[in-house]
Amino acid sequence: MRKGAFYTGEYRNAFAECGYDQAEIENRVQGIWEALFKDESSPYRIYFETEDSGYMLDTGNDDARSEGMSYGMMMALQMGDQEVFNRLWKWSYENMYHQSGFHKGYFAWHCTPDGEKIDDGPAPDGEEFFAMALFLAAKRWGNGTGIYEYDKMARQILSDCLHKGTELEGDSMWNLENYLIKFVPGVEFSDPSYHVPHFYELFAHSANEEDRDFWSKAAKASRDYIAISAHPETGMTPEYAYYDGTPNDERGFGHFYSDSYRTAANIGLDYEWFGNEHTPVTVVEKLHTYFKGIPAEAYKKYQIDGTPFDEESRHPIGLLATNAMAALAYDDVTKGREYIERLWETPLRDGRNRYYDNCLYFFAFLALSGKYRMWEKE
């Protein structure tokens, strides 16, 4: 088992290991960044600026989501663009963040592009990505003042995530007894794709001192949870699952569909960063076995045992991207060559539903090129 980048400081370049030229890799990553964030005429664009801030547009729903805003911040951080990072953070804080009331300390999960809250409720995958992006920004660029004192803001977010319901009005985002993230505050079930144990490992070093033991235990609990929520033969995880790992289909989300795709990518990045012996690598092996030889255009919605519905995947490029990123779970990334090469040969998605696919696509390119990093101050 290889040691993770947290211990070695070295990040694998899976594309290079599969034979791609380094200059082509650099150009491809930069080209994706330009297409999504910079080129105003790009049919793939999902980032838009206001006078003094910026937002990520969910083009399929015509709104801005805490998920996408935090994703955009992580992308900008990894690409070294502090101006875009700060614009996204400013928009998120001014429009999504609750500074008072029942949801104080949380972010509304979606807003209109002009900043009006559509729903006050939060979605925990946004909070965990906001916190991680802010911690890494402090490492890469150092802290500023006010809301740009990045690590202070990150610690406050994480503290509120845990202590609402005990010290504050509202409800925590994690179950404090089993250390598992909730789908949303106020419910007692989870979403396997929310589980990012590699983030929790870093939170255990950077969060408020009194919470660090919790995050260390959350990392272990999440690795175990991913393993038990994955089907034993296909490796597929449901979008929603109870704490014992069984699918929660009360609202029709007990199947392998859009949210679920992120689970494999999280396993890959967890192994790349930490090389933990409890990272459920076998989940990736089973997924890769199931999807071997199936082109993205043939992807469906599936029961977690692999039985397809008569319904196409809404985000086939996203599924292809996460299957490719999951190759980082192997000691030899070329074991996932089929998925890496297919991703390389597949262009960004255009059209109305491009937002989610292209977010997962860019994360995969960053990770597989060795550019999804934990960062130290430059």
Q: Is the pTM of this model over 0.95?
A: yes
For residue 238, pLDDT beyond 60: yes
Q: What's the mean pLDDT in 146-159?
A: 98
Do 246 and 360 share a structural domain? Answer: yes
**pLDDT per residue as tens digits for the range 79-118:** 999 999 999 999 999 999 999 988 999 999 999 999 999 9
Residue 377, domain member (yes or no): no
Do 37 and 1 share a structural domain? Answer: yes
259 is catalytic: yes
User: What does the alpha-carbon distance between residue 84 and residue 90 come to, in Å, rounded to a whole number?
Assistant: 10
**pLDDT per residue as tens digits for the range 334-350:** 999 999 999 999 999 99
Q: What's the mean pLDDT in 322-343?
A: 98
Last residue of a domain, which of 173, 194, 228? 173
Residue 103, domain member (yes or no): yes
User: What CATH number does the domain containing 100 carry?
Assistant: 1.50.10.10
Confidence class for position 164, pLDDT limits 50, 70, 90 = confident
User: What does the alpha-carbon distance between residue 103 and residue 168 come to, in Å, rounded to a whole number?
Assistant: 9
Last residue of a domain, which of 141, 173, 205? 173
* Structure confidence at residue 378 (pLDDT): 47
Confidence class for position 249, pLDDT limits 50, 70, 90 = very high
Lookup: tokens for 171: 């409800």
User: What does the alpha-carbon distance between residue 375 and residue 378 come to, in Å, rounded to a whole number?
Assistant: 8
Last residue of a domain, which of 154, 173, 192? 173
Do 312 and 301 share a structural domain? Answer: yes
Residue tagged 């960004």 (tokens): 348
Residue 111, domain member (yes or no): yes
**pLDDT per residue as tens digits for the range 182-229:** 999 999 999 999 999 999 999 999 999 999 999 999 999 999 999 999
Do 117 and 30 share a structural domain? Answer: no
User: What does the alpha-carbon distance between residue 36 and residue 44 come to, in Å, rounded to a whole number?
Assistant: 6
User: What does the alpha-carbon distance between residue 223 and residue 192 come to, in Å, rounded to a whole number?
Assistant: 10
SS (H, E, C) the chain: CCCCHHHHCCCCCHHHHCCCCHHHHHHHHHHHHHHHHHCCCCCCCCEEECCCCEEECECCCCEEEHHHHHHHHHHHHHHCCHHHHHHHHHHHHHHCECCCCCCCCCECCEECCCCCEEECCCCHHHHHHHHHHHHHHHHHHCCCCHHHCHHHHHHHHHHHHHHECCCECCCCCECCCCCCECCCCCCCCECHHHCCHHHHHHHHHHCCHHHHHHHHHHHHHHHHHHHHHCCCCCCCCCCCECCCCCECCCCCCCCECHHHHHHHHHHHHHHHHHCCCCCCHHHHHHHHHHHCCCCHHHCEEECCCCCEEEEECCCHHHHHHHHHHHHHHCCCHHHHHHHHHHHHHCCCCCCCCHHHHHHHHHHHHHHHCCCCCCCCCC
Number of domains in the chain: 2
Task: Determine which one of 58, 67, 211, 224 is catalytic.
Answer: 67
Confidence class for position 356, pLDDT limits 50, 70, 90 = very high
* Structure confidence at residue 20 (pLDDT): 98
Q: What's the mean pLDDT in 13-37?
A: 98
Do 223 and 161 share a structural domain? Answer: no
Structural domain boundaries enclosing 231? 1-44+219-372
Task: Determine which one of 58, 201, 211, 259 is catalytic.
Answer: 259
For residue 2, pLDDT beyond 90: no
Distance from CA of residue 73 to its chain's centroid?
Answer: 11
* Structure confidence at residue 180 (pLDDT): 98
**Bridge partners (DSSP) listed for residue 164:** 168
**Bridge partners (DSSP) listed for residue 97:** 107
**pLDDT per residue as tens digits for the range 283-320:** 999 999 999 999 999 999 999 999 999 999 999 999 99
Do 345 and 288 share a structural domain? Answer: yes
For residue 376, pLDDT beyond 80: no
Residue 205, domain member (yes or no): no
* Structure confidence at residue 166 (pLDDT): 65
Confidence class for position 1, pLDDT limits 50, 70, 90 = confident
Contact 259, 322 (CB under 8 A): no
